[in-house]
């Protein structure tokens, strides 16, 4: 399959046209009809499984991310190169399923449709799953269903790449170890930082951004896993005693 893309100017114009004709959906290439129907059905099913409220936002984000991740890898021609192209996610968001994005963010939210790459919602949740991947679907799903994971977990994971970009295996180890922190430790950490906005995961990701400029995770003792444990130890969480 050839994957359509939109540059920023094209995406802005397409979104303006869609808002004008709302709630009608944009015309798309026939090859995307099935993609549209499939993603709409994923979204409908997930939303039927939750009652609503703030807690459901992370559920929708993480579970739709999982379904999109599995779905696109089953489309011939899809690759990391396609996934890294912001134009692909713009086309998907503005032309193929703007109704799905609007249900999560409202129809006038350009950041989550096309304008800010790290905020493009479909891109963000797909990459959240990729950076969290634990080798198979079930293991990743179990991790992402950790009780204290929230939409802030996605935000801090996605928006804190170091100057050298994301070291995929290090990120996967960081999220793995975060999922192993006892929930009472996570809550206690936040209470101890009363008046400050940084929760444990944000602190760890800030440390990662700084450390990644001078440290190669693969060269640490025990590789990327050792690197991740060191980050948590620097934040005050020692896995040898938790």
At 165 the pLDDT is: 60
> CA-based angle 35:41:45, to the nearest 5?
150
Residue 234 neighbours by CB distance under 10 Å: 14
At 53 the pLDDT is: 67
At 104 the pLDDT is: 97
At 159 the pLDDT is: 77
Q: Please report, for residues 90, 122, 123, the alpha-carbon distance to residue 34 in angstroms, rounded to integers and kept in the order given.
A: 18, 17, 19
What is the rounded average pLDDT of the residues 74-80? 97
Tokens 């963010």, residue located:
105
At 235 the pLDDT is: 93
What is the rounded average pLDDT of the residues 116-132? 96
At 239 the pLDDT is: 85
Cα 238 to Cα 242: distance, rounded to the nearest angstrom: 6
At 97 the pLDDT is: 98
The yes-or-no verdict on residue 134 having pLDDT over 70 is: yes
The yes-or-no verdict on residue 52 having pLDDT over 70 is: no
At 232 the pLDDT is: 96
Cα 224 to Cα 122: distance, rounded to the nearest angstrom: 28
Quick one: pLDDT band at residue 158, thresholds 50, 70, 90? confident
Model pLDDT for residues 167-219, shown as the tens digit of each residue: 899 999 999 999 999 999 998 887 776 555 568 999 999 999 999 889 999 99
- In the chain, what percentage of residues exceed pLDDT 90? 82
Model pLDDT for residues 89-107, shown as the tens digit of each residue: 999 999 999 999 999 999 9
Q: What distance lies between CA 2 and its chain's CA centroid?
A: 24
Which residues does 183 contact at the CB level (< 8 Å), separation at least 6? Answer: 147, 148
The angle, 0 to 180 degrees and rounded to 10, between the axes of the packed helices 168-180 and 121-132 is 80
At 191 the pLDDT is: 79
Q: What distance lies between CA 41 and its chain's CA centroid?
A: 20
37: buried, middle or exposed (CB in 10 Å: 19+, 13-18, 0-12)?
exposed
The yes-or-no verdict on residue 131 having pLDDT over 70 is: yes
Domain ranges in the chain? 1-135, 160-242
- In the chain, what percentage of residues exceed pLDDT 70? 93
Quick one: pLDDT band at residue 223, thresholds 50, 70, 90? very high
What is the rounded average pLDDT of the residues 129-141? 97
């Amino acid at each position: 399959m050839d994957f359509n893309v939109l540059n920023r100017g094209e995406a802005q114009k397409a979104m303006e046209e869609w808002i004008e004709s709302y709630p009608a959906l944009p015309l798309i290439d026939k090859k995307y009809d099935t993609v549209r129907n499939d993603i709409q059905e994923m979204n409908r099913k997930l939303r039927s499984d939750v009652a609503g409220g703030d807690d459901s936002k992370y559920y929708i984000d993480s579970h739709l991310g999982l379904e999109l991740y599995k779905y696109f890898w089953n489309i011939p021609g899809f690759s990391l190169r396609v996934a890294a192209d912001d134009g692909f996610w713009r086309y998907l968001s503005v032309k193929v399923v703007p109704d799905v994005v609007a249900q999560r963010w409202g129809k006038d939210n350009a950041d989550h449709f096309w304008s800010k790459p790290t905020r493009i919602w479909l891109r963000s949740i797909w990459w959240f799953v990729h950076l969290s991947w634990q080798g198979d679907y079930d293991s990743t799903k179990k991790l992402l269903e950790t009780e204290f994971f929230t939409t802030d977990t996605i935000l801090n994971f996605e928006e804190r790449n170091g100057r050298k970009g994301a070291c995929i295996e290090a990120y996967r180890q960081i999220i793995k170890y975060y999922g192993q922190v006892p929930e009472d430790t996570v809550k206690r950490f936040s209470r101890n930082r009363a008046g400050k906005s940084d929760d444990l995961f944000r602190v760890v990701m800030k440390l990662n951004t700084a450390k990644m400029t001078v440290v190669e995770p693969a060269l640490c003792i025990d590789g990327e896993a050792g690197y991740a444990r060191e980050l948590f130890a620097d934040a005050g969480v020692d896995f040898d005693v938790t």
